[in-house]
Structure 1
Amino acid sequence: MLQHFSYKPMYDNKQLPGWTFAFFFRNTRYTGDYMPEGDIRWNGEAPTEEENVKKMIHELMTFHIYD
């Protein structure tokens, strides 16, 4: 489970797509960029269970951004 998930637009012009995000997973903080096409670029090391974490991020971003 992701804890303390937060995101914000990459650009001041909020019409341009792209977001940065941060969260804790198993007591480790991770950050990255969520691209408009749904790609995730990690800033630093990727979490263990990366594919499961990506699914959780996609669900959260879909709920918060595209809803």
Structure 2
Amino acid sequence: MLVHFQYKPLQHKQRNQSWLFSFYFQGQFTSGTYYYDGTIEWDSPPKQLDNEEDLKHAIHDLMLYHVYEDEHQPQE
């Protein structure tokens, strides 16, 4: 399970947007860059990873949720 998921944009409102992300997975700090096309580049990949595709899918789902939510939240 991913805990303490965080992300921040590297470039604001660019066509080829990318984000830094980090989280803890199985008690280990993990970070990387998520690109607009769904590509993930690991900075510190998890060491004991049974199924990397499942982890990438979870990151992709979280990014879609958070990026979509941020763009469509009403401004106060």
How does the TM-score come out when normalised to structure 1? 0.87
Q: CA deviation at 1:44?
A: 3.0
Do residues 62 (structure 1) and 64 (structure 2) align?
yes
1:54 & 1:37 partners in 2: Cα distance?
13
Choose 1 or 2 for highest CA Rg.
2
Gaps of 5+ in 2: 70-76
Gaps of 5+ in 1: none
Q: 4+ residue stretches of structure 1 with deviation over 6 A?
A: none
Percent identity, aligned pairs only? Answer: 38
Greater relative contact order (CA < 8 Å, ≥ 6 in sequence): 1
Matched with 1:27 is 27
